[in-house]
Amino acid sequence: MFIGAIGCEPLQLARVHLENSHTLEVYRSHGGYEALAQALSSMSPDDVTNEVKKSALRGRGGAGFPTGMKWSFVPKDSPKPKYVVCNADESEPGTFKDRYLMERDPHLLIEGMLIAAYALGAKRNFIYTRGEYKYLIDIMDVALAEAREAGLLGDRILNTSFSCEIYTHTGAGAYICGEETALLSSLEGLRGHPRMKPPFPAVSGLYACPTVVNNVETLTAVPDIIKIGGEAYQKLGTEKSGGTKLWSVSGHVNRPGVYELPMGYDDMEKFIMEDCQGMLGGKELKAVIPGGSSVYVMSADQIIGRDVRMDYEGLVAAGSMVGSGGFIVMDETVDIFESTKNLTEFYKHESCGWCTPCREGTDWLVKVFKRIETGGGVPGDAQLMLDLCDNIEGKSFCPLGDAAAWPIQSAIKRFPEDFRKRLENE
Amino acid sequence: MSQPLTQIEPLSQPVNIGEEIATFSPEVEAEIDRHLAKYPVMRSAILPLMFIVQRERGYLDPPGVAYLAKRLKLRYTDIWEVATFYSMINLKPVGRYHIQICKTLSCKIMGEEKITGHVCQRLGIKPGETTSDGRFTVSMVECLGSCGTAPMFQINFDYHENLTAAKVDTILDSLP
């Protein structure tokens, strides 16, 4: 599997190929913790937030919300403790970038969290990692102990007045806990149910205190933003999508892997056919899910010859989304009815059961898929599924419902033949 | 077509908690204390503690639930409501080796069915079942974040990636 940068110098993946890249010694000998030292010695907390704002860094977990703005929502005058929580619950099908960041460069995450904690005035912080990634929790615990030993964590970090702790926390198998409010419920020891927004976590998050929840990839971008400056980081990408982005490539390509690309990389066809070394076995491209399972599936004719720019705006214009960057490539042998059924079963399993549209809707959708699969389909079923999706989309308590509806809506619209065949029982 | 009511499984079975409370060695108690120290609110430690109980007792059994309730100063129902939400918390015994095969899209299109077929044929069980000697349980699970190295399964907490039938044989033969 490939791990590296294409079309830019590696930033977040700069150290992943070094021997013992997970150790403090290697991290420090390659510029590690210099950004933290710089922030603590010559920047105020507001300066740090302003640099992140200038960088045009957008949340890499999937929603793409501007990170600097998220930080600035934390009330400065609150007497309550503040928390930075790292979302390492990576569970979006097709996404595996955070895993390699934590495995190969755990200190980059620690440094990013420390800088965020400094900017926000947070003293106690958590890394919420999905339970299946236990080996990564072990890696992070070792790295945290190393940092503590070296005076980079705990009381009076680097001999300044800044004190801060970071702890690991484990999930236990629930996709919904990647949604930030559900994650906070889970971290409080409850079922992972999402909460009503507002109040947003920045005002009332963990233990009803001001909290910022950021994805691993978002926090690991922060040290470089401090080092090279927000403006320089933004210029690596586009005006509204700053910096670089990690794409987790899987499916029918010759070279799957984690690719760091500058935001605005031009274009998707070249990326698949050249950078990922083309289609496995020379087969034809049929479909791509570019941003994790929750985004619209794209057909080959939306990509080939269409000059699709790989950034937030470019992918929306092309009919999908950046999401988490979980890039699933499917060749001509894949039946989009089956692939959509597979994802619908995922959402049914992972629906937390809190709200009716999502809990009942995903269940009904799976029932309809199964009936069609066993030969019981009728021509009205495509419309029936679209109606069910319409009753979920925008009507569920959290975005999981939308995420369940979008793959089906786009699949029926863009691959009508794969559904027609089933519904007319050909 | 509506289904007759009898086909709907009850959401949960009544469980007889009994009087027994699990006990642990001083080392395990110390490990539990270290987890509790991380959080300003005790209840936050519920999932890490459940994993410890599960590791020590094979699964989260009623005495384990009673222990957690006592230790975290919660009601039994507080423990059950959390335990039943998370798919990695086992409320019944699983085999010594829990083979969790990823069935989500990237693994699916890269040959998950062949791997599942091979594993099940070799062990003589279906997904969701445990071998009669209690050695293996096979489960189908959702995306484990190993999509670029599909197909894959996890045995207990270990990732096994880029699987082929031959590789599955080597892995299963190497287990003590």
Q: Which one of A92, A187, A256 has the shortest CB-CB distance to B148?
A: A256
What does residue A150 show for φ and ψ, rounded to 5 degrees? Answer: -90, 10
pLDDT band of residue B1 (cuts 50, 70, 90) is very low
Q: Measured between alpha carbons, how far is A288 from A302 in angstroms, rounded to an integer?
A: 10
Q: What's chain A's average pLDDT?
A: 96
Q: What's chain B's average pLDDT?
A: 92
CB contact (8 A) between residue B87 and residue A172: yes
End-to-end CA distance of chain B: 50
CB A368 within 8 A of CB A387: no
pLDDT at B113 over 90: yes
Give residue-wise pLDDT tens across range B137-169. 999 999 999 999 999 999 999 999 999 999 999
Sheet architecture: strand order including A298-299: A2-5, A257-262, A244-251, A326-331, A285-289, A298-299
pLDDT at residue B4, as a whole number: 46
Where are the domains positioned within chain A? 11-235, 244-331, 336-423
pLDDT at B3 over 70: no
State yes or no: cis peptide before B151, omega within 30 of 0. Answer: yes
Give residue-wise pLDDT tens across range A200-225. 999 999 999 999 999 999 999 999 99
What percentage of chain A carries pLDDT values higher than 70? 100
Give residue-wise pLDDT tens across range A367-398. 999 999 999 999 899 999 999 999 999 999 99
For residue A343, the chain B residues in CB contact (below 8 A) are: 104-105
CATH no. for A11-235: 3.40.50.11540
pLDDT at B9 over 70: no
Q: What is the mean pLDDT of residues B30-53?
A: 97
A259 and chain B in contact, CB less than 8 A: no
Q: What is the ipTM of this complex?
A: 0.95
What lies within 8 Å, CB to CB, of A406 at 6+ separation is A294, A295, A296, A393
CATH no. for A244-331: 3.10.20.600
For residue A175, the chain B residues in CB contact (below 8 A) are: 142-143
Nearest residue in A to B154, CA atom? A132
pLDDT at residue B11, as a whole number: 52
Residues within 8 A of A (CB atoms), B 101-140 only: 103-106, 108-110
pLDDT at residue B74, as a whole number: 93
Structure tokens at A85: 């929580």
Question: What is the model's pTM?
Answer: 0.95
Find out if CATH 3.40.50.300 is the number for domain A336-423. no
Give residue-wise pLDDT tens across range A82-111. 999 999 999 999 999 999 999 999 999 999
Sheet architecture: strand order including B153-155: B136-141, B97-102, B153-155, B158-160
